[in-house]
Structures are given as C-alpha cells and as structure tokens.
Amino acid sequence: MNDKRLETIMGSLLRTGVLLAAAVVLCGGALYIAQHHARPVSYRTFAVGAEDTRTLGGIVASASHLQGDGLIQLGLVLLIATPVARVAFAVAGFALEHDRLYTLVSLIVLTILVFSLLHAT
C-alpha cells in the first residue's frame, strides 16, 4: 500500500464517518421532534437526559427501538468514533508499509485516545 492510497482511504473513512453521523443525528432529531412535539417544556430546571442514553449499551438499545434521543446520541458516538477509527486504520496502514516509527507513534496516539474515552468522567 503506497502513501497516496493510504491518504485516500483515510480521507474517505473520515468523510464517510462524519456524513453517517450527521445522517443519524438528523434522523434522530426528526424522530425526536415527531415523538415529543406536544410535550410542554419547562426552562425552570435543567433536565438531564434519560438513564438509557448515558451508557453505550443504553444508547444502542434506545436507538434500536427508534427513540429519537437514542438515535441522536448514537450519531454523536459515531462522530466521536470516526477519528479513533482513522487512527486505528493508520496503525494498520503504517504496519503494512513496514514503517515502524509511524506505526509506533500512531499506536501511542490510539492508546491515548482509547484511554481518555474509557476514563472520561
């Protein structure tokens, strides 16, 4: 795999991930408005999202039941996962090119990304 092909694939991966995330958020937003259009809104207190949209499993379950807030959250998860997938692909691409330095740097970046996502408060 040459550098130009690797860059093209990475660019396509980023573009596809962002467009997919945007489409899922858009569909989720439309569904949310359709499902909750008559609900009165109170701005006196801040309402935290539902319990089922605070974990990855809950987000997937909520989205699979076509709940608007679950689809919006799933779109945001896809948006966050897109650059992580790009770095993981870079690790594989540089390893296939036998470029040890860039493979190591990409692995360090991937480790930092995964660690920060898993240990976020």
Helix, strand and coil percent figures for the chain, each rounded to 5 = 80, 0, 20
Residue 13 CA to residue 118 CA, distance in Å, equals 23
Instruction: Assess whether pLDDT exceeds 60 at residue 57.
Output: yes
Q: Which residues contact 19 (CB under 8 A, 6 or more apart)?
A: none
Instruction: Assess whether pLDDT exceeds 90 at residue 4.
Output: no
Instruction: Assess whether pLDDT exceeds 90 at residue 41.
Output: no
First to last CA, the chain: 39
Contact 104, 113 (CB under 8 A): no
pLDDT at position 114 is 92
How confident is the model over 14-28, as pLDDT tens digits? Answer: 999 999 999 999 999
Q: What are the sequence ranges of the domains in the chain?
A: 3-118
pTM to 2 decimal places: 0.83
Residue 9 CA to residue 12 CA, distance in Å, equals 5
At residue 44 the predicted structure's pLDDT band, cuts being 50, 70 and 90, is confident
58's tokens: 């809950």
Contact 85, 13 (CB under 8 A): yes
Instruction: Assess whether pLDDT exceeds 90 at residue 110.
Output: yes
Kindly state the DSSP code that residue 12 receives in the 8-state scheme: H
107's tokens: 């692995």
Q: Residue 99 region, left (φ>0) first, then alpha (ψ -120 to 50), else beta?
A: beta
